[in-house]
Amino acid sequence: MPTFRLFYFTFIVVLAGCGSTPKAKQPSLPPAIADVHLHYNGNQEGVTTADEAMAILDRQNVQLAVVSSTPPELALTLQQAGGDRVIPLFRPYFSPHQRHRWFADDTVLPRTRRALASGQYKGIGEIHLVAGLGPNLKNDILHGLIRLGIRYDVPLLIHIETSSERYFIPLCRQYPAARFLIAHAGGLLSARQIGNLFEACPNTWTEFSARDHMRYTQSAIVDESGALLPSWAELVQRYPDRFMIGSDPFWPVEKESAMEEPDTGWQHVREYLNFHRRWLKSLPKSLRRKLRIDNAMAFFRVKPRTTP
């Protein structure tokens, strides 16, 4: 090819390259995670649509999302937006005011039975057991819910507020066929108390939801560097298959009981999950992945996906 034509050809190629629009670099996703403590309540739906909520989970690479709602059918709304990765639980709270009186509502058991029989819900909860307030551990509705969990082979997400693990141990021992997931490890029960609970109840697991720097601060689980405290790290290594992660999004934190007010908690999911990601880095890689996603997949009997 003559020199002039070679120069002209090269010039055209370079010019064409300069005119092309480079592809926008896609933001990298954080490591895949399972969030086993989400809510999509009536006072959140008006702030964050179901599609917006799922977009938030997409950005956080949440590949398993366990959600309970007040009213309970909103959990199905989120599943319709997110598909099979959303695990809806049936929460027997039919209004914002039922949190501390669900155990006195005679409609709870028949409604829960119908919900589980439909196959749409994959568990029961979150339900609150508050020592001194209720329910009494002999309460018929509480025992009925546990029996329904056993009958339909689904787990129960339990929030217990008490100063001692001895409050719950008689219940989990009474129902060895039930599968209990205790919310908020370290929120009220220490590592030693959770260890006692695990030893007494092989049918019990727990999750570290609501453990960001703004909530449940009365019982720290991390040191000043953000690493898991030795007592918790030792317990996690002793029971590597029985811990999970959750965000429990609600905001502002000081008005937890005011469920009739707008709740912007979904806009803080990134902060809550980043809290966990920081302390997870202090664990061995294989253990880190168990807590991050594998334990939740096994507990909720979800077929593992290919995840980084």
CA–CA–CA angle 145, 72, 147 (5° rounding): 10
Task: Single out the residue of 154, 213, 210 nearest to residue 185, CA to CA.
Answer: 210
- Looking at CATH, the fold of the domain delimited by 89-250+279-299 is given as TIM Barrel (3.20.20)
pLDDT bin (cut points 50, 70, 90) of residue 216 is: low
Mean pLDDT of 20-35: 75
The residue ranking higher by pLDDT, 135 or 23, is 135
The residue ranking higher by pLDDT, 206 or 16, is 206
Task: Single out the residue of 133, 68, 69 nearest to residue 101, CA to CA.
Answer: 133
Which residue do the tokens 């902060």 mark?
271
Sign of the Cα pseudo-torsion (293, 227, 57, 38, in order): positive
Residue 5 has pLDDT above 50, yes or no: no
CA–CA dist 78, 69 (Å, integer):
10
**20-29, 191-200, 232-241, range with the lowest pLDDT:** 20-29
User: What pLDDT digit, counting tens, does each position of 240-265 carry?
Assistant: 999 999 999 987 765 555 556 788 89
Torsion angles phi and psi, residue 12, rounded to 5: -65, -40
Total residue length of the chain: 308
Identify the three-state secondary structure at position 219: coil
CA distances, 284 to each of 158, 200, 201, 280 (Å): 29, 27, 26, 8
Task: Single out the residue of 65, 10, 73, 78 nearest to residue 33, CA to CA.
Answer: 65
Mean pLDDT of 103-130: 97
pLDDT score, position 121? 98
**48-57, 195-204, 273-282, range with the lowest pLDDT:** 273-282
CA–CA dist 115, 104 (Å, integer):
19
Residue 92 has pLDDT above 70, yes or no: yes
Cβ distance 43 to 11 under 8 Å?
no
Sign of the Cα pseudo-torsion (97, 185, 86, 227, in order): positive
pLDDT score, position 24? 54
Domain residue ranges in the chain: 89-250+279-299
pTM here? 0.88
pLDDT score, position 276? 93
Cβ distance 21 to 50 under 8 Å?
no
Alpha helices in the chain (DSSP H): 3-19, 42-45, 50-59, 74-82, 108-117, 140-151, 169-174, 191-200, 230-238, 269-280, 285-289, 295-299
Residue 17 has pLDDT above 50, yes or no: no
Mean pLDDT of 89-116: 94
Residue 301 has pLDDT above 60, yes or no: yes
pLDDT bin (cut points 50, 70, 90) of residue 224 is: confident
Mean pLDDT of 159-182: 96
Cβ distance 181 to 156 under 8 Å?
yes
Q: Which residues contact 216 (CB under 8 A, 6 or more apart)?
A: 184, 186, 187, 188, 210
Residue 175 has pLDDT above 80, yes or no: yes
pLDDT score, position 252? 72
pLDDT score, position 212? 54
**122-126, 132-136, 179-183, range with the lowest pLDDT:** 132-136
